[in-house]
Amino acid sequence: MEASGAPPAGFGELEVLAVGTVLLVEALSGLSLNGLTIFSFCKTPELRTPIHLLVLSLALADSGISLNTLVAAISSLLRRWPYGSEGCQAHGFQGFTAALASISSSAAVAWGRYHHHCTRVQLAWSTAIALVLFVWLSSAFWAALPLLGWGHYDYEPLGTCCTLDYSKGDRNFTSFLFTMAFFNFLIPLFITLTSYRLMEQKFARSGHLQVNTTLPARMLLLGWGPYALLYLYAAIADVSAISPKLQMVPALVAKAMPTINAINYALPSETVCRGMWPCLSARRSKQDRAQ
């Protein structure tokens, strides 16, 4: 977006303001909920377990997405990107790292839950720590490749945030997209679906459903699927045929995932790791004593 603050092509003043407001709400909501999850893990000894470490990794990744969204929200409200081309590259790298870590951490939580509910061997700290390190190092590796020339970061249609550039749809983008998507979306999605399907089969035999086995995979697919479809379309057709407003929809959906994940994994329901927040932990303790 130009320094003059004029709205980009395809957007009006009120539309830029609306997008900025939505981004701001998503950022503050995600930071608040995931920040509370992180605080609870650090302050509550009972929550410092290997399985909760995987949830902590997810909360940290989602906090990174929310911080990235906050920068985008401020820029949108300013109606310009004030950090220059180097800031755009840094913003794209940070956001892409957090997004990939969030997707992989969701798969790690699914695998951890399967291990917890369907095997007799307790998840070890060494295994959980190694898994978290792998998630973050792998995410940083793939996010660094566009900085090295395989793929490229550039402004999204609104011009106030940066992501993987899909506007050209050339061989460089296509080769990076399909390779990255296989390792960072399809494989995590397969692990998530398989883990919850195996848990569902075990719970069906025991007759005691302890975890919602369908919602996490659906949220992963619904949250990141629109981005995947946009990138796929850009690889096989001219993405300029899609209006800039419609191109912003996947970004707005994906940036809501930190809030959705916090509710999905931190609130007391069939789908979550219970007790991640102090008030809910106290409630659980009262229930345990009553039983």
Condensed to tens digits (0 to 9), the pLDDT of residues 111-135 reads 998 988 888 778 899 999 999 999 9
Q: Which two tokens stand for residue 183?
A: 């390792």
More confident residue, 37 or 23: 23
Question: Distance between CA 195 and CA 95 in Å, rounded?
Answer: 27
Collapsed DSSP state (helix, strand, coil) of residue 30:
helix
Collect all residues with Cβ–Cβ distance below 8 Å to 213 and sequence separation of at least 6: 196, 197, 199, 200, 203
> Looking at the predicted structure, is the pLDDT value of residue 137 above 80?
yes
Condensed to tens digits (0 to 9), the pLDDT of residues 188-219 reads 999 999 999 988 888 777 766 666 778 888 99
Q: What is the pLDDT of residue 11?
A: 81
Q: Is the distance from CB of 109 to CB of 58 less than 8 angstroms?
A: yes
> What count of residues does the chain have?
291
* β-bridge mates for residue 238, sequence order: none
Q: What is the pLDDT of residue 118?
A: 83
Question: Distance between CA 106 and CA 23 in Å, rounded?
Answer: 22
Q: Is the distance from CB of 243 to CB of 10 less than 8 angstroms?
A: yes
> In 3D, which of 277, 108, 94 has the Cα closest to residue 187?
108
Q: What is the pLDDT of residue 145?
A: 97
Mean pLDDT of the chain: 86
3-state SS of 151-206 is CCEEECCCCCCEEECCCCCCHHHHHHHHHHHHHHHHHHHHHHHHHHHHHHHHHHHH
Q: What is the pLDDT of residue 6?
A: 65
> In 3D, which of 124, 91, 120, 52 has the Cα closest to residue 273?
52
> How far from chain centre, in Å, is Cα 135?
13
pLDDT grade for 289, boundaries at 50, 70 and 90: very low
pLDDT grade for 290, boundaries at 50, 70 and 90: very low
Question: Distance between CA 125 and CA 95 in Å, rounded?
Answer: 28
Q: Is the distance from CB of 117 to CB of 202 less than 8 angstroms?
A: yes
Question: Distance between CA 184 and CA 135 in Å, rounded?
Answer: 10
> How far from chain centre, in Å, is Cα 176?
20
Q: 207: which DSSP letter?
A: T
More confident residue, 202 or 278: 202
First-to-last CA distance in the chain? Answer: 60
Question: Distance between CA 189 and CA 108 in Å, rounded?
Answer: 10
Ranking 7-16, 75-84, 98-107 by mean pLDDT, the lowest is 7-16
pTM as predicted: 0.89
Question: Distance between CA 6 and CA 160 in Å, rounded?
Answer: 12
Candidates 3.40.50.720, 1.20.1070.10, 3.50.50.60, 3.30.930.10; correct CATH number of 13-283? Answer: 1.20.1070.10
Q: Is the distance from CB of 1 to CB of 8 less than 8 angstroms?
A: yes
* β-bridge mates for residue 103, sequence order: none
> Looking at the predicted structure, is the pLDDT value of residue 286 above 80?
no
Domain ranges of the chain: 13-283
Question: Distance between CA 175 and CA 234 in Å, rounded?
Answer: 12
C-alpha gyration radius of the chain: 20
Q: What is the pLDDT of residue 45?
A: 85
pLDDT grade for 229, boundaries at 50, 70 and 90: very high
